Amino acid sequence: MAFEFRLPDIGEGVVEGEVVKWKVKEGDVLGQDQPMVEVMTDKATVEIPSPRPGRVDKILVAEGKICKVGQVMIVIDDGQKAKGEDKAETKPEAKPETKVQPPPATALPPLTMSASGNGRSAQTAATTHTMMRAIVGSGATERVLAAPSTRRLAREMGVDLGAVTPTGKSGRVTSDDVRNARRAPEGPSAQVPVSVPPGGLEDRIPFRGVRKAIAQNMARSKFTATHFTYVEEVDMTELVALRARAKDKAAERGVKLSYLPFIIKAVVHGLKKWPSINASLDEARQELVWKRYYHIGMATQGPQGLSVGVVRDADKRSIFDLGREIERLAEAIRAGKASREDLTGSTFTISSLGQLGGVLATPIINFPEAAILGVHKIAERPAVVGGQIAIRHLMNLSISVDHRIADGYDAAMFVQEVKVYLEDPTLLFMEMV
């Protein structure tokens, strides 16, 4: 019997994945739980095993192609006859079914993340297919064909689905249709994709996978959150000296000590005092969510683009423990092996390029967080100290904030609080933050 395997729901908010590599080919014999295919989403790379033994009849999604959740990826011939097939041969006059039933739920083996092996049970193909069906209701908007994730996006962006021009199959409204409707001014030409004609020697790279996901998330943030930026200069001289003294002790414990653990500690203290910065706007419920937990994201450049590694419960970690976790996350991201747990759930994000940090930037908020802090390079510059000109280690901080959630006063006071703890780092240990 031909078994159609559909891409299961492999993570919250994931609606599609790119087929990175098939580990089988048509005609191969599959064993139960045998690794079958690697799929890359915007969250992580997932290895999907075979849900049953059999022979590969047909591969329907080629490597490098995008597969939607619920779409048939591969057909497996498991050698079994369909239920009732033998009876049909002896009873040809059997009445045809008058009611179409969904396929029976088939338990799938656990999925494994390529980074850590932490997996989650996949939903059945039938359940996934049901989740992806268009919802048909009674109102004008409900009659629009759209996946649940697209409807949720439309609600979050304040877009009327009934007014969106669909470009998907069978007149379905896609997520890109919703984003284009949100960004574009009125007029039929506004939703036409821009074409870049060839102009000479070029390299053309498919716009998909993580790069496309980053672009979509950044566009959503920029056109949803009302960004404003505040900048402050920080004298890091005392912290530079403290880190220099602590580096050897950290190395003895196997920790590569950067400035980030100290900055995270200062940030946590600021977030506790100014909770509107550690917040999100629940647009569906029209609620401001002030979070009393502190999962700090770190924007890190990986081989597939920018990812945000998440240091969980940063308020409960020591400086050395923060150093270990920062290094672990950075290595996992650079190796392309970060798990979904490593990349989701941040409440506030820090963007730092170290010595490449430049003088100033206006980072885009990691939506749906309220703010993101840009950390720039530390450089020796002249400064006035006690009425005298002195050479000091100075650094700029820039914070981008969603003005829907927090005001300029809150942002400025938060940065000033962070500045106090960075300029006098002994306070970090006195306050035990």
pLDDT at 82: 57
pLDDT at 44: 67
pLDDT at 320: 95
**Region 235-241 average pLDDT:** 97
pLDDT at 135: 25
pLDDT confidence bin for 57, thresholds 50/70/90 = very high
Taking a C-beta distance cutoff of 8 angstroms, is the pair 26, 58 a contact? yes
pLDDT at 315: 95
**Region 182-206 average pLDDT:** 67
Answer yes or no: is pLDDT of 115 > 90: no
Going by C-alpha positions, the residue among 215, 231, 213, 212 that lies closest to residue 223 is 215
Q: Per this entry, what is the length of the chain?
A: 433
List Cβ neighbours of 379 (8 Å cut-off, separation of 6 or more): 393, 394, 395
pLDDT at 158: 78
**Residues 306, 70, 224, 343, CA torsion sign:** negative
Pairing mode of beta strands 287-290, 379-385: unpaired
**Region 121-129 average pLDDT:** 36
Q: Is the pTM of this model over 0.85?
A: no
- CA dihedral in degrees (27, 32, 35, 37; nearest 10)? 60
* Strands lying side by side in the sheet with 16-22: 66-68, 16-22, 35-40, 45-49, 112-113
pLDDT tens sequence across 1-47: 788 999 988 765 678 888 888 999 999 999 988 999 988 876 567 88
pLDDT at 13: 62
Taking a C-beta distance cutoff of 8 angstroms, is the pair 173, 161 a contact? yes
Average pLDDT of the residues of the chain: 80
pLDDT at 405: 94
Going by C-alpha positions, the residue among 433, 409, 411, 412 that lies closest to residue 421 is 433
pLDDT tens sequence across 239-276: 999 999 999 999 999 999 999 999 999 999 999 999 99
Answer yes or no: is pLDDT of 52 > 50: yes
**Region 312-319 average pLDDT:** 96
Pairing mode of beta strands 305-311, 348-352: unpaired
pLDDT at 103: 42
Q: How far apart are CA 198 and CA 200, in angstroms?
A: 6
What are the residue numbers of the active site?
Answer: 403
Q: How far apart are CA 426 and CA 319, in angstroms?
A: 13
pLDDT tens sequence across 365-383: 999 999 999 999 999 999 9
**Region 35-62 average pLDDT:** 87
Q: Distance between terminal CA atoms of the chain?
A: 61
pLDDT at 105: 39
**Region 141-157 average pLDDT:** 69
List Cβ neighbours of 384 (8 Å cut-off, separation of 6 or more): 390
Answer yes or no: is pLDDT of 286 > 90: no
The answer to whether the peptide bond before residue 109 is cis (omega within 30 degrees of 0) is: no
Taking a C-beta distance cutoff of 8 angstroms, is the pair 150, 174 a contact? yes
**Region 325-350 average pLDDT:** 91
Looking at per-residue pLDDT, the higher value among 218 and 96 belongs to 218
**Region 186-201 average pLDDT:** 65
pLDDT confidence bin for 139, thresholds 50/70/90 = very low
Looking at per-residue pLDDT, the higher value among 18 and 142 belongs to 18
Q: How far apart are CA 21 and CA 25, in angstroms?
A: 11
Give the CB-side neighbour count of residue 305, counting CA atoms within 13 A: 15
pLDDT tens sequence across 65-89: 889 989 999 999 987 765 555 544 4
Which two tokens mark 61?
């999604």
pLDDT confidence bin for 97, thresholds 50/70/90 = very low
Q: How far apart are CA 124 and CA 101, in angstroms?
A: 15
